[in-house]
């Protein structure tokens, strides 16, 4: 009987599924290979099994819903990718969040596709560099993935190697406006790259918070101005250890730096934090932005 490859996975999905497979035991990987191919292909080594699973998986959701892809594995994978979910999340919620994460990454074309090149952020200190001519929404998604992974890596409770956080990612006259509603309301402002950098760093390094952005259409908006300012607004949840403490809304103003290879740097940050006690029982699993486009446009002017 002929066996046909059924893979409908994109390059991004193949790479991310492979990361999850690396978290699995050898026995589970070999068993999953048998399941995916209905035992029509016999493999002996994990490397063969991984390639077989990726080649014969019809789509990403099918892979994630397999019994051998345990809830705990997806939870651990998301944590490694800088996406923090409530510890009591059910598997279907973790699958949904993972698919959203992969979908946001799929919009970046292959490097060889020069004719339709879109912005491509890189890792570490060059992560805010993008190509000229860009899709603002893609820039917003990539910026948020970079920023929150970078900031959350400073949290010692996550056990990650801290990444290259610092004032170099901000303009010298950067401004942070922090509004906190946790019982009482408090407004603080910080001026200058060093102070803005240190206050945001304190959220994760000292207060041990983890900020998890919602990058779907309800949680992310991106606007541009004719003067080169890109406004990225995102909502998300705030966690400490296993507790969800509340929600946040964060607005970034980004401007290119022509003296630094056209990297995008942060001009201003407006951060609004609301504790659980101020939400009145509102669902916080995937918070939405409360700002409308008109309010955001005013910040662009």
Which one has a higher pLDDT value, 200 or 293? Answer: 200
pLDDT of residue 283: 52
d(CA 97, CA 83): 9
> What would the two tokens of residue 241 be?
């250890």
d(CA 175, CA 194): 10
Q: What are phi and psi for residue 49, nearest 5 degrees? A: -65, -45
| Bridge partner list, 188 | 178
| Bridge partner list, 223 | 231
pLDDT, tens only, 118-170: 333 333 333 344 444 557 888 888 899 899 999 999 999 888 888 889 999 99
Statement: residue 2 has pLDDT above 50 = no
* Alpha-helical runs (H) found in the chain: 11-22, 26-37, 46-56, 60-64, 71-80, 91-106, 136-152, 193-205, 293-300
- In the chain, the domains with their CATH numbers are 11-101 (no CATH), 125-300 (3.10.450.50)
Q: What is the largest CA-CA distance in the chain?
A: 70
| Bridge partner list, 41 | none
Q: What is the arithmetic mean of pLDDT over 92-108?
A: 81
pLDDT, tens only, 13-71: 889 999 999 999 999 999 999 888 888 778 888 988 998 898 888 889 999 999 999 99
pLDDT of residue 159: 83
Give the list of residues 6+ apart from residue 129 with CB closer than 8 angstroms, or none. 121, 122, 261, 262, 263, 264
End-to-end CA distance of the chain: 66
d(CA 9, CA 127): 26
**Total-model pTM:** 0.57
Residue 156: count of CB within 10 angstroms of its CB: 12
> What would the two tokens of residue 84 be?
């923090």
d(CA 129, CA 143): 10
């Amino acid at each position: 009987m002929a066996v046909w490859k059924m893979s409908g996975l994109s390059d991004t999905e193949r790479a991310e599924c492979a990361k999850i497979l690396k978290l699995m035991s050898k026995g589970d990987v070999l068993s999953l290979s048998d399941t995916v191919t209905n035992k029509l292909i016999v493999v002996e080594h994990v490397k063969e099994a991984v390639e077989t699973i990726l080649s014969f998986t019809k789509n990403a959701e099918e892979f994630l819903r397999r019994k051998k892809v345990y809830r705990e594995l997806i939870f651990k994978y998301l944590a490694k990718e800088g996406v923090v979910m409530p510890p009591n999340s059910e598997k279907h919620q973790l699958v949904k969040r993972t698919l959203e994460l992969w979908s946001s990454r799929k919009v970046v074309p292959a490097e060889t596709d020069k004719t339709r090149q879109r912005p491509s952020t890189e890792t570490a200190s060059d992560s805010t560099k993008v190509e000229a001519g860009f899709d603002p929404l893609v820039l917003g998604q990539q910026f948020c993935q970079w920023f929150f992974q970078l900031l959350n890596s400073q949290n010692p409770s996550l056990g990650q190697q801290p990444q290259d956080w610092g004032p170099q990612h901000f303009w010298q006259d950067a401004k942070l406006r922090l509004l906190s509603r946790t019982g009482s309301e408090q407004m603080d402002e910080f001026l200058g790259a060093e102070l803005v950098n240190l206050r945001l760093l304190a959220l994760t390094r000292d207060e041990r918070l983890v900020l998890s952005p919602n990058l779907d259409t309800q949680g992310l908006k991106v606007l541009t101005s004719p003067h080169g300012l890109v406004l990225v607004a995102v909502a998300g949840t705030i966690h400490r250890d296993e507790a969800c403490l509340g929600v946040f809304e964060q607005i970034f103003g980004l401007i290119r730096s022509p003296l630094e290879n056209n990297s995008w740097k942060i001009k201003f940050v407006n951060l609004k934090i609301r504790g659980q006690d101020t939400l009145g029982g509102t669902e916080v699993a995937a918070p939405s932005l409360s700002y409308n486009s008109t309010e955001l446009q005013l910040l662009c002017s």
